[in-house]
């Protein structure tokens, strides 16, 4: 099978397209023929080893990823595809099922034509109405946004500010805060993305680069920094006295829950969230896709069409 591997940290050019043996499902596993995956900020961080967290957390991440070289050679944190085969004892899936999945707890592996999953892994039927690319893109940004926003116990009518509203997490957060939690949403993004964020449901959209940019003071019930770039003191200044400040780098957690995954599937099928796809690339152009994500200007998600 075709797969993209990396054996050293660095620029996108460390990614190499190679041929690897096609995996076979063991007892209790399903083999998925991958149709689409994504390039997330997390993928580029692991590839470059530019880890945006404080000292001790950076050390822990370095040990997990590999001190001198990557421990896990195939990136790709989310995917969608078709079940090609099932191992003995599998009851949840059958051949031909369309599925989407997270590879986060399985050592990644989305940048390949095939991936095996334990039946009990974070994998489920693909949301009806979504393409393979949209289903793959739903996973990371959607689960992160949902997990963070749930921490704030948002009530209908509350004012929520999403900083970094045009990225994968931000576009998901704007939609969820508006259409699921019933909040009044203010999105903060660049001038080029104002209309996009407004179209997702934000009632107010601010350009952070505009002269006189002012979020306001003491007016928001929740501030969600979806990119980890909002100054903490500034973020807290705009909150009400009982307001909640959330930062994607600190509040997204690391443990995935199947209940969150299935809740996200239901929200997508109910039309309350639909992933934004900025660009799509074939697997053979993975280097170009990483270069684009490295620019920091992607809108929503960058998809990789695998098959």
pLDDT in tens, 92-127: 999 999 999 999 999 999 999 999 999 999 999 999
What tokens does 250 get? 């600190």
pLDDT exceeding 70 applies to what percent of the chain? 98
Q: Do the beta carbons of residue 285 and residue 188 sit within 8 Å?
A: no
What's the rounded mean pLDDT across residues 125-133?
98
Does residue 170 share a domain with residue 185? yes
Residue 33 bridge partners (DSSP): 82, 114
Structural domain contains residue 28: yes
pLDDT value of position 255: 65
Query: Is residue 78 situated within a structural domain?
Result: yes
Residue 187 has pLDDT above 70, yes or no: yes
Whether residues 174 and 233 fall in one domain: yes
Tell whether 129 and 212 lie within a shared domain: no
| Residue 122 lies in domain | 2-138+274-305
Query: What is the mean predicted confidence (pLDDT) over 190-215?
Result: 92
**What's the whole-model pTM score?**
0.94
Contact 141, 113 (CB under 8 A): no
The CA–CA distances, whole Å, from 262 to 13, 99, 146 equal: 36, 12, 12
Sequence-ordered list of residues with C-beta below 8 angstroms from that of 224, at least 6 positions apart, any chain: 148, 149, 152, 160, 161, 162, 163, 173, 177, 246, 248
* pLDDT mean across residues, the chain: 95
């Amino acid at each position: 099978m075709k797969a993209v591997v990396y054996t050293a940290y660095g620029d996108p050019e460390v990614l190499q397209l190679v041929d690897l043996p096609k995996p076979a499902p063991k007892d209790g596993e399903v083999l998925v023929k991958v149709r689409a995956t994504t390039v997330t900020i997390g993928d580029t961080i692991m590839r470059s080893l530019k880890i945006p967290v404080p000292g001790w957390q950076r050390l822990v991440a370095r040990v997990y990823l590999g001190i001198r070289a990557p421990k896990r050679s195939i990136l790709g944190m989310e995917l969608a595809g078709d079940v090609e085969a099932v191992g003995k004892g599998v009851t949840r899936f059958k051949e031909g099922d369309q599925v989407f999945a997270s590879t986060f707890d399985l050592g990644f592996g989305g940048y390949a034509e095939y991936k095996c999953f334990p039946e009990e892994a974070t994998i489920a039927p693909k949301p009806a109405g979504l393409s393979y690319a949209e289903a793959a893109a739903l996973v990371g940004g959607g689960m992160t946004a949902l997990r963070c926003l749930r921490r704030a116990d948002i009530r209908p009518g509350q004012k929520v500010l999403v900083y970094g509203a045009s990225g994968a997490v931000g576009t998901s957060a704007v939609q969820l805060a508006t259409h699921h939690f019933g909040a009044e949403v203010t999105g903060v993004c660049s001038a080029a993305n104002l209309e996009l964020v407004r179209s997702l449901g934000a009632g107010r959209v601010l350009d952070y680069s505009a002269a006189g940019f002012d979020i306001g003071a003491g007016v928001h019930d929740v501030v969600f920094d979806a990119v980890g770039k909002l100054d903490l003191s500034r973020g807290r200044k705009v909150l009400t006295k009982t307001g909640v400040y959330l930062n994607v780098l600190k509040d997204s957690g690391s443990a995935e829950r199947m209940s969150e995954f299935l809740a996200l599937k239901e929200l997508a099928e109910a039309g309350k969230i639909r992933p934004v796809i900025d660009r799509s690339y074939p697997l053979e152009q993975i280097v170009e896709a990483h270069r684009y994500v490295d620019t920091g200007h992607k809108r929503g998600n960058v998809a990789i069409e695998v098959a």
